[in-house]
Structure 1
Amino acid sequence: MSNFNWKRIVVKVGSALIAPSKKGCSSHYLLSIAQFIVKCRARGVEVVLVSSGSVAAGTGYFAQSPNSVPLKKAMAAAGQTEMMATWDKLFDFPTAQILLTHADLRNRERYVSVKETLFELLKNGILPVVNENDTITTDKLKVGDNDNLSAMVAASVNADALIICSDVDGLYDKNPHKNDDATLIKTVTHIDATIHAMAGGATSDVGTGGMKTKIQAAEKAVSHGISTFIVNGFTDQSFNALLEGYNPGTHFQPFEVPMQEHKHWLTHTSNAQGEVVVPENFDVALDEQSEKLCSQDVVAVKGDFAVGDTILVRKKDGTKLAKAKSNYSSCLLSFLAEQDDRAFAADFENTTGPIISENNIAILEE
């Protein structure tokens, strides 16, 4: 890879590539991806594979279409083994299955545990195959799409590159399935509202992630310093180009100064369990003076959170200021914020400690 000095990459493959007919797995489109992974490993590049497809692979075992959540979970359970077997037969080295929910990633201790497992597998030459655990996940626990999951996994293993396979060559200025004059965007240096506006919905009737989620994933990855590519997974030309060191699709350039790992986890992986609302004229620079946030600044506490949970700090007008680890429960913070005796609340906080510590906060940019 003459132009790409990668030591570790994450490759994301969607359901449309795994089970294009929705009647079980097919290796038709997977051969070139598998060969790419084999060649990367032969060059000393570590690879993590994030693979969708369990529901699509399991659909053929059932008489009815996936019209309910329990049925989809059953399909995922039946299809996961077939999906893993399909990947396993394409490699002459061992693979390992890792099934995750968002609860495994938003909890810091479990997140670190996942990281340790992935690194141990890579150190021993085993290919990790990651998928969302659709058999047990709920709306509250799910990531929702494997594009964003792949970015979280890429951040957890400190990958150099994230390669997201799509059904088009990359990001276009308009939907290429509907507009013949759509132009491919080869390089994106900054993901802003204009880039998000170019992303439409899902074009495949098999997968759940369209270009919108791929842009979200790219945004997560590049902020961690990870080069991100959206490429056409249906043609081997994409992977030949990558092996030769060329960009075959859209390249999202990484931040020159990546976010600190813990702040990246707070911003992009951990879900806020509640909100602390401050006045619209709140002007404390939280990144420098987070410990000066006190209960007298709080106009409302929303949600039910415990000590150590992630919270969102926002203004009353909706402006998001930061995500942070809370040193107070929602119950206690509500109690202090409602006190007429400000001296009592201030004395309590001086004794117990700040609501937010400066080393457990991530500033958000609108």
Structure 2
Amino acid sequence: MSDRGNDAFAAQALPPWRRAVLKVGSSLLTDGQGQLSDHNARGLAAFITASRSAGREVVLVSSGAVAAGRARISEERRRAGGIVLRQALAAMGQTRMVGLWQALIDAPVAQVLLSHDDLRNRRRYLNARNTLLELLRLGAVPVINENDTVAVEELKLGDNDNLAAIVAALVDADVLMIASDVAGLYSAHPARDPAARPVAVVDAITPEILAMAGDAGSAVGTGGMHTKLQAAAKAANAGISTVLFDGGNAAVIATIGDGSFRGTRFNASGTRLAARKYWLRHAPGSGGRIRIDAGASRALTGGASLLPGGIVGADGEFSRGDIVDVVAGDAADGSIIARGLCQYSAGEIRRLAGRHTRDIESVLGFSYGDSVVRRDDLVAMTEKATP
């Protein structure tokens, strides 16, 4: 569709890739009336099929389940609203969404539903990775969606843009492709500011870049430009470039099949965090916090483990093995010093706060080790990516 502003973006080369994660938003899978439609999906499916024929692999992160489910119930029932309704709609629409892709892609498609817990729990995270890599080895196209039926927090706050970035790191993708209903990033909202200019390349997600983002532009989606910038930042931090383009424009899709695109390219940082450190930095946390003193803060940023002696207190409730945020003792500005897998529960940490490591067993009656958070299970938020 020529009225979508694609002509404002010059064609540029795609990053070299053998494996990509392609995220498709809800607005591209509906007909404007909330009904599931394959109008835009046909071109994207043809791109996936052509890529596979060229020996490349594509993992699809697809929204649309809630919208597909909504179309199956009456207007009166839709007005009931609420989180439980959205969960039910996701369950009703998920099979229709996957069926749409299976009808268009000349390869087996495999439904994979992921939740926050799958990404927060290291063991389940690795299980998900192994499953996805095996599906690719078998020649299938994984179709991934947030498990909206059970993921209450995701339905309130989340989006598939950020999920796609996490999946890109999960499967070691070379590029994250975000197919949207916009042509790319503009310096301001193009419908509101006649001086808005297209931004073809972004080297880093700075506050100035974030300021360019507006609100969600679709009634059927949960994201907007801001979530796409968040996703691009996550991918960049994992050494993965992101391209944002208009997935509803056949000409744009055709250029992607030829190795170029019209839209915005977000460059990778050029370095990569170790996989475990990346997961700790970006996986959804438990919501719990451990407050530490200045000495412990200096030790953590220097690469040390977190010991009970430097702990001031713990906020919230969390269990052993959960990801927690580590903050300054006063936490006045809420800034996070580090994140890590905790070896003790919140209640146990409150009992250990300020104590010497030799006191752990006498205080608790048992010990999981001297460290509350081991250095290998911790990432300082100021830590630089490593090759």
TM-score (norm 1): 0.92
Other-structure match for 2:23: 12
Separation in 2, partners of 1:218, 1:207: 18
Give the number of equivalent residue pairs. Answer: 360
Quick one: distance in 1 between partners of 2:315 and 2:183?
43
Contact 1:274 1:301 in 2 (8 A): yes
Contact kept? 1:273, 1:309, Cα under 8 Å: no
Q: Does 1:252 align with 2:263?
A: no
Give the whole-Å Cα distance in 2 for the aligned partners of 1:23 and 1:283.
50
Structure 1, residues 134-177: CA drift from partner, whole Å, max 9, x if none? 12222279772111111111110000000011111111110123
In 2, Cα distance between equivalents of 1:270 and 1:77: 23
What corresponds to 2:351 in structure 1?
A: 335
Counterpart amino acid of residue 337 in structure 2: L
Q: Which residue of 2 aligns with 1:309?
A: 322
Which of the residues 156, 162, 178 maps onto 2:192? Answer: 178
Q: Is the 8 A contact 2:296 2:311 kept in 1?
A: no
> RMSD over aligned Cα, in angstroms?
2.2
Q: Which amino acid aligns with 1:325?
A: L
Residue 281 of structure 1 and its aligned partner are, at CA, apart by 7.1
The C-alpha deviation readout for 1:155-207, integer Å capped at 9, x for no partner, is: 10000000011111111110123223211111111111111111111011111
Q: Is the 8 A contact 2:297 2:337 kept in 1?
A: no
Q: Offset of 1:295 from its aligned partner?
A: 2.8
Query: One-letter code of the match for 2:314?
Result: V
Relative to the length of structure 2, the TM-score reads 0.87
Say whether 1:56 aligns with 2:73. no
Q: In the alignment, which residue of structure 2 is the partner of 1:158?
A: 172
The 2-side partners of 1:108 and 1:173 are apart by: 38
- Asked whether the 8 Å contact 1:103–1:141 carries over to 2, the reply is no
Task: Give the superposition deviation at 1:42.
Answer: 1.2
**Contact 1:40-1:47 at 8 Å conserved across structures:** yes
Shift, 1:297, TM fit: 2.3
Q: Does 1:353 align with 2:366?
A: no
Counterpart code for 1:239 = I
Deviation per CA, 1:327-348, whole angstroms, max 9, x where unpaired? 222212111226xxx5xx3422
Distance 1:130 1:142, change over 3 A: farther
Q: Indicate yes or no: 2:113 matched with 1:99.
A: yes
- Indicate how the Cα distance of structure 1 residues 198 and 117 shifts in structure 2: closer, same or farther if over 3 A, else same: same
Aligned mates of 1:128, 1:143 — CA distance in 2: 24
1:208-287, aligned counterparts within 5 Å? 208-279=222-293, 283-287=297-301
The 3-state SS of whatever aligns with 1:248 is strand
Gaps of 5+ in 1: none
Deviates more, 1:308-317 or 1:294-303: 294-303
Q: Whole-Å Cα distance in 2 between the matches of residues 269 and 346 of structure 1? A: 29
Gaps of 5+ in 2: 1-11, 362-366
Distance 1:326 1:197, change over 3 A: same
Conserved in 2, the CA contact under 8 Å of 1:101 and 1:142?
no
After TM superposition, the structure 1 stretch with the greater mean CA deviation from structure 2, 230-239 or 14-23, is: 14-23
> Identity of aligned pairs, percent?
39
Give runs of aligned pairs for residues 14-163 of structure 1, distance below 5 A: 14-64=25-75, 65=78, 67-139=81-153, 144-163=158-177
CA drift at 1:38: 1.1
User: Which amino acid in 2 is paired with 1:364?
Assistant: M
The question of 1:326 aligning with 2:342 is answered: yes
Q: Distance in 2 between matches of 1:359 and 1:309?
A: 15
In 1: Cα distance, 2:41 partner to 2:291 partner: 48
What letter matches 2:276 in structure 1?
Answer: H
Distance between the aligned counterparts of 1:246 and 1:96, measured in 2? 28
Partner deviation per Cα, 1:210-239 (whole Å, 9 max, x = no partner): 001111111111111111011111102222
The runs of 4+ residues in structure 1 deviating greater than 6 Å are 140-143
